[in-house]
Amino acid sequence: MVRMVPMFVVALPCGALALTAACSDPAPPASPAEPQPAAPASPAEPQPATPASPAEPQPATPASPAEPRPAPRPTPEGARRFLEAAESKLHELSTHSNRAAWVASTYITEDTQVLAAAAAAELLGAQTDLAKRADRYRDLELPYDVRRRLDLLRTSLTLYAPADPARTKELTTIASRLEASYGAGKYCPASGECLDLEALSRILAKSRDPEELKRAWVGWRTVSAPMRADFTRLVQLANEGARELGFEDTGDAWRAKYEMPKGELPREVDRLWGQVKPLYDALHCYVRGRLAARYGEDVVPGARPIRADLLGNMWAQDWSNVYDLVAPQGAAPIYDLGVALRAKGLTPVEMVRTGERFFVSLGFDPLPATFWQRSLFVKPADRDVVCHASAWNIDDEEDLRIKMCIDITADDFQTIHHELGHSFYQRAYRRLPLLYRDSPNPAFHEAIGDTIGLSVTSEYLQRIGLVAELPPPSSDLSLLLRDALAKVAFLPFAVLVDRWRWGVFSGEIQPPEYNRAWWELRTRYQGVAPPVPRSEADFDPGAKYHVAASVPYLRYFFAHVLQFQLHRALCEDAGYEGPLHRCTIYGSEKAGERLRRMMEMGRSRPWPEALEVVTGSRQMDAAAMLDYFAPLKAWLDERNRGGTCGW
């Protein structure tokens, strides 16, 4: 799940536009915000004619060129006009780039990739050039709004273009090629037909044969192994561009988006991870014991990491597909949302309509007609597409779309609500200045959709007619366990992906040790291990979309903490009293009004202020998540007593 941010996501070249870094002149170009009248070259100052002595003829002295005029001194008014011109140019280029990227993602061919890379490189060059030009206003005393937008211009990129036009083009071509390789990737066994990620993921979700699981897991990683050389070069080029803008490396630039003092972000991650780690450890211990009971200790040994292919997901980041293997013995049955969706005969479009109605019940306006005309809901039969779910705002105004290959499953029903969270957020801040049209930090955009997902409860499903009866209170532990397999199991993976990339960008992790370092982190944080030995001939990080597509990942960790914090506050607004895990804000316009106020702020204010609007607190805190899962944690501790935990 990812949101395509029109101006600032992986910006993937150079036309005749004066704003692009690839079109630089030998002399620094004049700022677009401070146009100066052309100054004619001053002729050489006339001197009285001195007749040359006939005995000593002198060579003619050419007229000296005019002295170059100094650049105008930066002023607050100049900064304001610079921003107006910059936002206008970025809006034009980002719309063009987004249209090309949409076609490239929904119609994967070599031609569409070339066109998307060209449009994105043009945008990236302009963004980088403008970020550098903004630096001339750094020492001015400026109004808050002007200063903030200038700072955001510098930190809004994901990949930073080197000044050299050829290297910018190389960077964007590599970035486009990596994403296309992922989207079109297939595993072709020696016998049988080729399998794409969706087919392989279904095997991971449904098979209970360890050998078949192993083959599917290894098969997908044959797609990522060839990415290593491209990824290594992308790191070099992106770091070059980031350093030209004053960052230590690309990881430093990514961390700057959170507007925390240097060094504080990793400490904040450690603090929040420390809050939730005991819950994760208890879940890991219980699940490993249940898997050992199913597969035997030869396959799942005690006190060791769990084989990553046994957990129902290609990356072992979501364990909900093995719920049937770990369900509490004698537990009350719980509803199967996938069965309910199919029984009602819902189509993919009807599933999206259902998600839209949730937001409308909170007081939001329905999505525009173009959303339904231009979105991709079903995988086409005639071409390759990037099926990874994403939300797009093509023109940063009303051209909202989502791209998914929807199956009639509970997972996709949840994902639809998540992606629509992006769409309604994008719409909420569309009237702000362009540089404010985003969330105050990357996690908020992810958290909104996830917060709505927490309200997809049995009570909500009954109210919209998808389940006939509410499950009894005795089923709460089963429901909480199923939720934890998705949300708690995800947390360490969400930490380690960018921990690995920070090390790669800083040079602490060198290319010859990419895979070793990846598995060290996966073992340390997740307690999982590969089903077969891995080597540096492999490139397992690239088997994850966000690595192949250069999408920062830490946002998802923070979002998983924030969603519970926001959910608890909104449930209070809705007047709900009872266990937090049973609350739905569906139909509460009061909760919707508070949520909308935060969303309409965009990133015009720092994230602690936005968080305070909904929660009353300026600090991220996992206490609400622990409260939500408290009954499950007590139950897990009881089940694990006397067993062997840890790895």
Determine the distance from the C-alpha atom of residue 611 to the mean position of all C-alpha atoms in its chain, rounded to a whole number. 19
Distance CA 260, CA 606 (A): 10
> Hey, which bits of 459-573 come out as E strands?
528-529
Q: Give the long-range contacts of residues 230-234, CB within 8 A, separation 24 or more.
A: 230/174, 230/177, 230/178, 230/181, 231/178, 231/539, 231/541, 231/542, 231/547, 231/548, 232/511, 232/514, 233/170, 233/174, 234/159, 234/171, 234/174, 234/175, 234/178, 234/550
Q: What is the DSSP secondary structure assignment for residue 390, as one 8-state letter?
A: E
Are 386 and 105 in contact by the 8 Å Cβ rule? The answer is yes
The annotation status of 586 as a binding-site residue, yes or no, is no
Distance CA 26, CA 437 (A): 34
For 130-145, give one letter per residue: b (16+ CB within 10 A) or e. Answer: bbbbbebbeeeebeee
First vs last C-alpha separation in the chain: 30
Instruction: Report the phi/psi class of residue 341: left, alpha or beta, with left for phi > 0 and alpha for psi in -120 to 50.
Output: alpha
Pick the closest to residue 554 from 458, 441, 435, 645 (CA basis).
441
The annotation status of 418 as a binding-site residue, yes or no, is yes
Distance CA 345, CA 341 (A): 6
Told to judge if 419 belongs to the known catalytic residues of this protein, a careful annotator would answer yes
> Hey, which bits of 308-395 come out as E strands?
390-393
Distance CA 517, CA 402 (A): 35
Instruction: Specify the DSSP element, H or E, that contains 400.
Output: strand 400-403
Pick the closest to residue 401 from 372, 361, 442 (CA basis).
372
Pick the closest to residue 531 from 238, 312, 214 (CA basis).
214
Q: What is the DSSP secondary structure assignment for residue 526, as one 8-state letter?
A: I
Show the tokens assigned to 350. Answer: 């009807």
Are 567 and 580 in contact by the 8 Å Cβ rule? The answer is yes
What are the φ/ψ torsions at residue 395 (nearest 5 degrees)?
Answer: -110, 10
Q: How many other C-beta atoms lie within 10 A of the C-beta of residue 414?
A: 21
Of 284, 445, 546, 560, the catalytic one is 546
Are 295 and 310 in contact by the 8 Å Cβ rule? The answer is yes
Beta bridge partners of 187: 195
The annotation status of 107 as a binding-site residue, yes or no, is no
Of 34, 417, 419, 567, the catalytic one is 419
In which residue are the tokens 């070599």 written? 110
Told to judge if 284 belongs to the known catalytic residues of this protein, a careful annotator would answer no
Instruction: Specify the DSSP element, H or E, that contains 196.
Output: strand 195-196
The dihedral sign for the CA sequence 199, 205, 206, 208: positive
The dihedral sign for the CA sequence 316, 496, 509, 247: positive
Q: Any alpha helices (H) in 388-441, and if so which ranges? A: 410-428
The annotation status of 555 as a binding-site residue, yes or no, is yes
The annotation status of 560 as a binding-site residue, yes or no, is no
Q: Binding-site residues, please?
A: 258, 418, 422, 446, 555
Q: Binding-site residues for Zn(2+), please?
A: 418, 422, 446
Q: Binding-site residues for chloride, please?
A: 258, 555
Residues catalogued as catalytic:
419, 546
